[in-house]
Structure 1
Amino acid sequence: MNFRYLLFLVISFTSFAQKTDFPTAEAAAIANRIQLPVFPSYQVNVVKLGAKGDSVTNNKAFFDKAMALCKKNKGGTIIVPKGIYKVNGPIHFVSNVNLKIEKGAKIKFSDNPKDYLPLVLTSWEGTMLYNYSPLIYAYECSNIAITGEGTIDGEGGTAWKSFKAKENDGKMRSREMNHNSVPLNDRKFGEGYFLRPQLIQFFNCKNILVENIRIENSPFWCLHLLKSESITIRGISYKSLNYNNDGIDPEYAKDVLIENVNFDNGDDNVAIKAGRDHEGRANSATPSENIVIRNCNFKGLHGVVLGSEMSAGIQNVYVENCKTIGYLKRGIYIKTNADRGGFIKNIFVNNLQLDEVEDCLYITANYHGEGSGFQSDISNVYFSNISCNKATESGIVIQGFPEKKIRNISLNNIEIKSAKNALSNENAENVLMTDVFIGQRATVPSAAK
């Protein structure tokens, strides 16, 4: 080995090793540049339009009328006062509107799939297609919000729940269309395909606020941030335990702040995505990026997940000051496979407190052992100041491929008090461990006897 090459290795290794502190300034810069929506002074109360919070009356027409009046007045605030408002069909946003659901108010959607026709342009597990409308849907809007201390109930536990057992044909059809680059206009789903809609979806939107509301009983993903940017999600809470009830799914999303959220989900709490396979790779100019997750309470399947649909790439994710408040299978889960391609890089996790989990920190490039030909690039992942009381399976797992190794993983001040399997580190290079304790801490060596 010549001296110049050796010097390069030392410099590269040192520059990576020095980057162990959480980049607080970078995360703050993202949060500070996100713009909150601003609304005109116009207000409309749905009750004054004829809505009844009696849990029986179908109020769809009154919510539609409120949106139309806001559009006529170039925006405003729709006030939903105390009561239970049945809405048989979707609420479609227009720009410059704040849907304010007051304390004691609940919007309860119907669970009749026919109410969510005609089809709208949306996405399903990383593939763009036409499907049932999300229950709250904003397409190409700016300056929009859902606020207040009320509840949105997706009524997802009966009719929609039954779709799960019937969705496979539709799911595989969507993936074949993705792989074969079928024109978007030919990707029609809806009736007969059993692909459940998201509860709330913001699609091609900008300057979004979701604050203090409660989300319950979603048919599918709860809050889908699709191809949107400048987003603030804060102070919301969940109780949504149906199949695939991810809490928040940023997908091709940019400049996102998620803070002070109390999760209780049947699936991932935050699942960062960026498109699936061929279609995702074709959108590599719009990765999911610049996402700050802080001061959240995790409960559900996994805390923060990156993937598995991430083919356009995920970068610049900052997770700080979060903890569990109940069961969690995995704390941080980075997952991709050889169908995906793309990259995951510049991921920072600091001050994470976990109670009992199955696996504490899990990075795998071979999720479900699927795929070939498109291995993902995973690099520059930094974990610091993480505690876990018990991992019933593994403390730390890193799984790359021999020909595509995971690179530059930093583990600094990690303590896992109990784990069935401490560490599995496979096909990774430049994994730096400083003050890592798994199981009982060793003390001074015992004297010879």
Structure 2
Amino acid sequence: MRNLKYLVLVLISSAAFAQDNLFPTAKADSIIKNIQLPVIPSYQINITQLGAKGDSVTDNKKFFDKAMALCQKKKGGTIIVPKGIYKINGPIHFVSNVNLKIEKGAKIKFSDNPKDYLPMVLTSWEGTMLYNYSPLIYAANCTNIAISGEGTLDGEGGKTWKTFKAKEGKGKELSREMNHTNVPVENRKFGEGYFLRPQMIQFLNSKNILVENIRIENSPFWCLHLLKSQSITIRGISYKSLNHNNDGIDPEYAKDVLIEKVNFDNGDDNVAIKAGRDHEGRANTATPSENIVIRNCNFKGLHGVVIGSEMSAGVQNVFVENCKTIGYLKRGIYLKTNADRGGFIKNVYVQNIQLDEVEDCIYMTANYHGEGKGYQSDISNIHFSNITCNKASESGIVIQGFPDKKIRNISLNNIEIKEAKNALSNENAANVLMTDVFIGKRATVPTAAK
């Protein structure tokens, strides 16, 4: 009788898990409904009215600054950038209630002189808060802001900034040491001499954000960084940014985010969901990255959707659907963390993904680079359905936990990988449910005995 009760309990639990692994469309829809688009006042100013010239030579920095000041005086408005190439020697700093509208045929081309991005501002670098060069477009503590239009932002990242990569080691290691030893953020001063490249666009502590239809080219570092911000819509944008570490979109400690109809072509992860690094991240578990919907995107670059590796405050409630590759991709969906991070990844749902040729199709590892100790991450409730891949030159599906910290509650439903060098590597995982999973040629009826 006791064994029968146990069997009934197992069957009920299995049935509940099978139901939970379906893509919860209603939950994704409720996140989108909670996202507020920015409300922009009716005031408009054309940048050329202030003296700006789209001749690719004139430094238009003071005219953009003046336009922002006018908008602030008017309690907000739209800055119109008409057709032309507008050189600007320094960053654009947003104020609240402003739409920077870059019209079709317009390009803002930023200088690549690092001195133009001083004085330093509060920012983050690979998961650690610090003071560094200003991002090229920077909004801190703003509400109701937008970057729109069909024009282009050019970060000029392929020359001077590109040389910083080989020299960033000292600054990178110092930033991590300051993270681990709890140095006060106000004492974390970098900038000149440390070679930490700035992000192209960063929103910090801001909300009600829209980035729509623009093109991002040639970023110095991460392209679009959503840092400690919420209620964000990114849609219809495109990329051509192939420098070092050119992640496309990095939500970090971000909440209520919609990413849709984006055409990626960048030199690193397309979307990389992060939540701080190591000790600092674990101290911020009240603000995980959460409620993120990614849909109807075209992937091209290093990896499609990534969670980690800096995710120490936790990542939860991520919904990815109806996306496909339009060119090279090393990995399709990639969850990566290690024993330095801690934190959690949970409630991730991925459906209707079409991949062409990749190195690895689905990859989940708690042992990224084999680094770290003492802070193993908790990975659970990860669900994949309706995924196709033409070829995986390495692995079809990889799941790697730890013996004493297993990845758990994983479902794979209707997965077809037509060719793979290594089909499946499933290590230190618990409660992995596979239904209609095909790797390689599908088996048919067994042959008759001869």
Q: Does the TM-score normalized on the shorter chain lie above 0.5?
A: yes
**RMSD of aligned Cα (Å):** 0.9
Shift of 1:14: 2.3
What is the CA–CA distance in structure 1 between the aligned matches of 2:386 and 2:425, rounded to whole Å?
A: 20
Aligned twin of 1:180: 181
What is the CA–CA distance in structure 2 between the aligned matches of 1:278 and 1:9, rounded to whole Å?
A: 38
After TM superposition, list the pairs within 5 Å mapping 1:39-54 onto structure 2.
Answer: 39-54=40-55
After TM superposition, list the pairs within 5 Å mapping 1:62-101 onto structure 2.
Answer: 62-101=63-102
What's the secondary structure of 1:29's corresponding residue?
helix
What is the CA–CA distance in structure 2 between the aligned matches of 1:58 and 1:377, rounded to whole Å?
A: 50
Aligned twin of 1:429: 430
What's the secondary structure of 2:13's corresponding residue?
helix
What is the CA–CA distance in structure 2 between the aligned matches of 1:188 and 1:3, rounded to whole Å?
A: 64
What's the secondary structure of 1:391's corresponding residue?
strand
What is the CA–CA distance in structure 1 between the aligned matches of 2:254 and 2:7, rounded to whole Å?
A: 40
What is the CA–CA distance in structure 1 between the aligned matches of 2:9 and 2:191, rounded to whole Å?
A: 56
Aligned twin of 2:292: 291
Aligned twin of 1:249: 250
What is the CA–CA distance in structure 1 between the aligned matches of 2:27 and 2:354, rounded to whole Å?
A: 22
Aligned twin of 2:261: 260
Shift of 1:3: 5.8
Greater shift after overlay, 11-20 or 71-80? Answer: 11-20
Aligned twin of 1:58: 59
1:210-254: CA deviation from partner (whole Å, max 9, x where unpaired): 000000000000000000000000000000000000000000000
Shift of 1:2: 5.9
After TM superposition, list the pairs within 5 Å mapping 1:133-212 onto structure 2.
Answer: 133-212=134-213
Aligned twin of 1:392: 393
Aligned twin of 2:356: 355
Runs of 4+ displaced beyond 6 Å: none
Gaps of 5+ in 1: none
Q: Which amino acid aligns with 2:209?
A: I
Shift of 1:8: 4.0
Q: Which amino acid aligns with 1:197?
A: P
Greater shift after overlay, 326-335 or 30-39? Answer: 30-39
Aligned twin of 2:301: 300
Shift of 1:13: 2.6
Q: Which amino acid aligns with 2:181?
A: N
What is the CA–CA distance in structure 2 between the aligned matches of 1:88 and 1:4, rounded to whole Å?
A: 73
Q: Which amino acid aligns with 1:319?
A: V
Shift of 1:15: 1.2
Q: Percent identity?
A: 83
Q: Which amino acid aligns with 1:230?
A: S
Shift of 1:9: 3.6
Aligned twin of 2:283: 282
1:15-53: CA deviation from partner (whole Å, max 9, x where unpaired): 112223211111111111110001111001110100000
1:376-423: CA deviation from partner (whole Å, max 9, x where unpaired): 000000000000000000000000000000000000000000000000
What's the secondary structure of 1:31's corresponding residue?
helix
Gaps of 5+ in 2: none
What's the secondary structure of 2:408's corresponding residue?
strand
Aligned twin of 2:343: 342
1:97-153: CA deviation from partner (whole Å, max 9, x where unpaired): 000000000000000000000000000000000000000000000000000000000
1:66-111: CA deviation from partner (whole Å, max 9, x where unpaired): 0000000000000000000000000000000000000000000000
What is the CA–CA distance in structure 2 between the aligned matches of 1:130 and 1:312, rounded to whole Å?
A: 21
What's the secondary structure of 2:49's corresponding residue?
coil
Aligned twin of 1:112: 113
What is the CA–CA distance in structure 1 between the aligned matches of 2:284 and 2:261, rounded to whole Å?
A: 31
What's the secondary structure of 1:181's corresponding residue?
coil
Q: Which amino acid aligns with 1:155?
A: E
1:234-292: CA deviation from partner (whole Å, max 9, x where unpaired): 00000000000000000000000000000001000000000000000000000000000
What's the secondary structure of 1:11's corresponding residue?
helix
What is the CA–CA distance in structure 2 between the aligned matches of 1:9 and 1:434, rounded to whole Å?
A: 18
What's the secondary structure of 1:435's corresponding residue?
strand
Aligned twin of 1:414: 415
Shift of 1:441: 0.3
Q: Which amino acid aligns with 1:128?
A: M
Q: Which amino acid aligns with 1:39?
A: I
What's the secondary structure of 1:256's corresponding residue?
strand
What is the CA–CA distance in structure 1 between the aligned matches of 2:244 and 2:128, rounded to whole Å?
A: 19
Q: Which amino acid aligns with 1:439?
A: G
Q: Which amino acid aligns with 1:48?
A: Q
**How many equivalent pairs are there?**
449
What is the CA–CA distance in structure 2 between the aligned matches of 1:336 and 1:51, rounded to whole Å?
A: 47
Aligned twin of 2:328: 327
Aligned twin of 1:124: 125
What is the CA–CA distance in structure 2 between the aligned matches of 1:174 and 1:70, rounded to whole Å?
A: 36
Aligned twin of 1:271: 272
What is the CA–CA distance in structure 2 between the aligned matches of 1:382 and 1:261, rounded to whole Å?
A: 23
What is the CA–CA distance in structure 2 between the aligned matches of 1:242 and 1:54, rounded to whole Å?
A: 26
Shift of 1:4: 5.5
TM-score, with structure 1 as normaliser:
0.99
What's the secondary structure of 1:208's corresponding residue?
strand
What is the CA–CA distance in structure 1 between the aligned matches of 2:292 and 2:4, rounded to whole Å?
A: 40
What's the secondary structure of 1:198's corresponding residue?
coil
What is the CA–CA distance in structure 2 between the aligned matches of 1:405 and 1:8, rounded to whole Å?
A: 22
Shift of 1:5: 5.2
What is the CA–CA distance in structure 2 between the aligned matches of 1:20 and 1:231, rounded to whole Å?
A: 27
Shift of 1:11: 2.9
Greater shift after overlay, 25-34 or 219-228? Answer: 25-34
What is the CA–CA distance in structure 2 between the aligned matches of 1:311 and 1:5, rounded to whole Å?
A: 37
1:318-361: CA deviation from partner (whole Å, max 9, x where unpaired): 00000000000000000000000000000000000000000000
What is the CA–CA distance in structure 1 between the aligned matches of 2:346 and 2:52, rounded to whole Å?
A: 49
What is the CA–CA distance in structure 2 between the aligned matches of 1:360 and 1:34, rounded to whole Å?
A: 31
Aligned twin of 2:221: 220
What is the CA–CA distance in structure 2 between the aligned matches of 1:341 and 1:28, rounded to whole Å?
A: 30
Aligned twin of 1:438: 439
